[in-house]
Amino acid sequence: MREKEYGIWQALTWADLATLVTQLACGLHLAGLRRHEHMIVIGANRPRLYATMLAVQAIGAVPIPLYQDAAAPECVFPINNADVRFAFAEDQEQVDKLLEIRDECPQLSHIYFDDPRGLRNYDEPGLASLDDLLAAGKAFAGQNAGFLQAEIDQTTPTDVAAMFFTSGTTGNPKGVVHTHDSLLNRARAGADFDKLTHSEDVLAYLPPAWIGQNIFSYAQWLSCGYVVNCPESAATVTIDLKEVGPTYYFAPPRVFEGLLTSVMIRMEDASALKRRMFHYFMGVAQRVGPTRMDGKPIGFANSILYALGNALVYGPLRNNLGMSRVRVAYTAGEAIGPDLFSFYRSIGINLKQLYGSTETAVFVCLQPDNEARADTVGVPCAGVEIKVAENGEILVKSPGLLKEYFKNPAATAEVLTADGWYHTSDAGFLDAHGHLKIIDRVKDVGRIKGGANDGAMFAPKYVENKLKFFPHIKEVVAYGDGREKVCVMINIDFDAVGNWAERRNLPYAGYTDLAQKPEVYQLIKECVEKVNADLSVDTLLAGSQVSRFLVLHKELDADDGELTRTNKVRRGFIAEKYDVLIDALYGGKTTQFIETQVKFEDGRTGSVSATLRIDDSKTFAPVKAAA
């Protein structure tokens, strides 16, 4: 592993790691952690966090990574549900969080911190540094040389390896229980599919609590033996990405959207000559780049043009994004916009989609290198069977399926059939080439009711993703099921729109003011109408064109319950919270006042109020496919 500390990359060899894990495992055993017990780990990607997880597993206990940006009350349910006594906390922020909820979690008796800054004067029972644990473990290991190997030898592939709590879009999160076999089997399947070796470089920057991060930077790291690089902080990820130059890269669509937005902002500030050159060669890339990426011929003239574009635009752009060495890049977590997907492939980045979930240990479907398409999520990988239920739901059978939901047999029975099929809750189908297409969540796919599009299919996520391709739009929530038209609520991207406004000498006083500017509404309206024009040629979803929209007065935030910790929209919660806005959208109003309570980073609450403008957008007659 490598960790960036004070601007310098520090290396940790496998031998160093083995020593660290041995001492931690012995220290935890000495402190009273026993086989099958749970221990939470909460913090950013750090070698000592990973070593703690390995140490916990080595003595037969079960690590539970929690989101480091979760508010203290969000940690109460997982800790109590799993009856956790031991915790690893990265720093003072995480220690404070655990101490705050200690009265609600009386069994939490041992808290170990890694970074001692700010904790010198803390005097709490059971609070100790990881260094103290290591010292005790080192002494124990010296006197009991065969202890750890004996503990490891007792563990079987079917023993529980880790537990991951779902993001909880509805109700309390569920603890997804995975065995050593389910995690390592899927890690190996993914590695074999893309021919991963020990020579890969990976940047570990996503939350360890997200199973996607856990598979790519932990299970596959152990399976392949490649190098995992831990950034200095969230603020330095972009710089660290350029320095590391990963060969194997994974990010949810939101990260790829953010990178593209930053590129577009910088291009708008470039000289007129550079802008013209960029747009010309990007036109070439979008025309022939994806075809070239799929290994198909593009002709001599196009090859020369692309090579010139690669020298002048695509190469420098890949380098600026930190992706000049990327051999395989994946995106997952939610659907990616087709235009966004094509952009990266057009400039020579082998971006592919995969399909999976926490319950399937990620890898269900993967896209082969020369068959990456924006409208599919790939073919079933090794060991996976797929079938489609009568209602269109995708069912999966795989060696990577969860063992159970912890202490929740009813929920387990809902998703796992007696003969081993897992209900994904996603609607889709296998196309003629064997690729899986996902339309939306089964519960979210609906129908337009009444009006000119009566009975037309409505897939909110598809509409939202098409709008989010535009750099000025950060988040979208679409409604239309059971209604006669589709309406959306939009979050602008404050950085992108702020930059756009400044170049037009448009003054504003913060997000709320900028969001309601008439000029901004016109900008967003143009984006909405472009999406409507695209939808009009889609036979299935032409009825999902957006009729009315508004720009929200605040950014949707996980701390306010509007997004999950993996940044998925909680559409039902938002519908209840902003019911007055939805009523205004469908009631034909042109303005609506709203006041919303918000939670600040320091835990204080306040309110944001505004009179929001509501606009109509142009819709287009469906374009019938040629005979």
Domain assignment of residue 623, yes or no: no
The pLDDT > 70 percentage for the chain reads 98
pLDDT at 269 over 90: no
pLDDT given at position 565: 78
Same domain as 246, residue 257 = no
Mean pLDDT highest for which of 181-190, 455-464, 529-538? 181-190
Q: Are 393 and 425 in contact (CB under 8 A)?
A: yes
Same domain as 429, residue 460 = no
**Average pLDDT of 591-608?**
86
The pLDDT > 90 percentage for the chain reads 76
pLDDT in tens, 443-454: 888 889 988 888
pLDDT at 120 over 70: yes
Q: Are 481 and 446 in contact (CB under 8 A)?
A: yes
Please count the structural domains in the chain: 3
DSSP 8-state assignment for residue 540: T
Task: Report the alpha-carbon distance of residue 3 to residue 199 in Å, rounded.
Answer: 17
pLDDT at 333 over 50: yes
pLDDT in tens, 205-252: 999 999 999 999 999 999 999 999 999 998 899 899 999 999 999 998
Helix (H/G/I), strand (E/B), else coil: 96: helix
pLDDT at 538 over 90: no
As a three-state string, the secondary structure of 124-156 is CCCEEEHHHHHHHHHHHHHHCCCHHHHHHHHCC
**Domain carrying residue 301:** 253-441
Same domain as 263, residue 246 = no
Helix (H/G/I), strand (E/B), else coil: 267: helix
Handedness of CA 479, 440, 254, 281 (dihedral sign): negative
pLDDT given at position 626: 41
Same domain as 452, residue 420 = no
Same domain as 382, residue 345 = yes
Residues paired with residue 487 on neighbouring β-strands, in sequence order: 479, 548
Domain assignment of residue 48, yes or no: yes
- Among 202, 220, 250, residue at a domain's last position: 250
pLDDT at 625 over 60: no
Residues in the chain: 627
pLDDT at 266 over 90: no
Same domain as 299, residue 207 = no
pLDDT given at position 624: 65
**Average pLDDT of 288-292?**
93
Same domain as 356, residue 214 = no
Same domain as 304, residue 242 = no
Same domain as 452, residue 429 = no
**Average pLDDT of 571-592?**
94
Sheet holding 328-331, edge to edge: 248-250, 328-331, 351-355, 365-366, 379-380
Name the band, by pLDDT with cuts 50, 70 and 90, for residue 627: very low
Same domain as 257, residue 373 = yes
Domain assignment of residue 525, yes or no: yes
Name the band, by pLDDT with cuts 50, 70 and 90, for residue 405: very high
Q: What is the overall mean pLDDT for the chain?
A: 92
**CATH number of the domain to which 561 belongs:** 3.30.300.30
**Average pLDDT of 391-417?**
95
pLDDT given at position 169: 54
**Average pLDDT of 462-468?**
86
Mean pLDDT highest for which of 26-35, 271-280, 492-501? 26-35
Same domain as 434, residue 464 = no
Domain assignment of residue 465, yes or no: yes
Nearest to 490 by CA among 506, 481, 480, 477: 477
Domain assignment of residue 622, yes or no: no
**CATH number of the domain to which 298 belongs:** 3.40.50.12780
Helix axes 338-346, 253-268, angle to 10 degrees: 70
Same domain as 290, residue 244 = no
Domain assignment of residue 212, yes or no: yes
Name the band, by pLDDT with cuts 50, 70 and 90, for residue 170: low
